[in-house]
């Protein structure tokens, strides 16, 4: 059976994460897509509608938008009649840790600047 003495169902050499859970290719894919979402949001101001149209899915195993929200990596700010979705500081920290080359290319969006002056 498995090659790990503590878990007969785990194959020898099969990777596990820090919490002891199995890492599957799907979870790696979702994690990479969460990083893509954070990067996409950080590049320019995005409306809630635009974000949901691009990132929401009905697939129960592919929950990029929902996972990013649940983990506090993105936030929605409502001002007037418009809701803007932005990465949180935690989201930007994760992006910096996992994709420093991308993080370093991004200019922070100044939320106080008039919309015309924003990148």
**Within a domain: residue 60?**
yes
User: The pTM is what?
Assistant: 0.67
**Within a domain: residue 117?**
no
| 78 backbone dihedrals φ, ψ, rounded to 5° | -100, 130
* Tally of domains in the chain: 1
CA dist 16 → 24, 25, 34, 45, 102 (Å) = 9, 12, 20, 36, 27
Question: What pLDDT does residue 115 have?
Answer: 41
Contact, 75 vs 85, CB < 8 A? yes
**Within a domain: residue 119?**
no
**Within a domain: residue 12?**
no
> pLDDT, tens digit, for every residue of 5-39?
455 444 444 545 555 555 445 567 889 999 999 99
**Within a domain: residue 91?**
yes
Q: Look up the CATH number of the domain holding residue 30.
A: 1.10.10.10
Range of the domain at 37: 25-103
Q: What percent of the chain has pLDDT over 90?
A: 47
**Within a domain: residue 87?**
yes
pLDDT higher at 11 or 95 = 95
**Within a domain: residue 99?**
yes
Question: What pLDDT does residue 82 have?
Answer: 93
Going by pLDDT thresholds of 50, 70 and 90, the confidence category of residue 109 is low
């Amino acid at each position: 059976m498995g090659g790990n003495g503590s878990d007969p169902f785990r194959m020898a050499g099969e990777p596990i994460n820090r919490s002891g859970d199995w890492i599957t290719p799907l979870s790696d894919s979702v994690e990479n897509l969460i990083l893509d979402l954070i990067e996409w949001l950080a590049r320019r101001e995005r409306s809630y509608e635009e974000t949901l149209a691009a990132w929401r899915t009905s697939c129960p195993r592919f929950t990029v938008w929902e996972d990013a929200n649940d983990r506090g990596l993105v936030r929605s700010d409502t001002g007037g009649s418009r809701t803007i979705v932005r990465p949180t500081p935690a989201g930007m920290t994760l992006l910096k840790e996992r994709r420093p080359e991308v993080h370093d290319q991004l200019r922070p969006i100044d939320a106080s600047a008039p919309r015309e002056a924003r990148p």
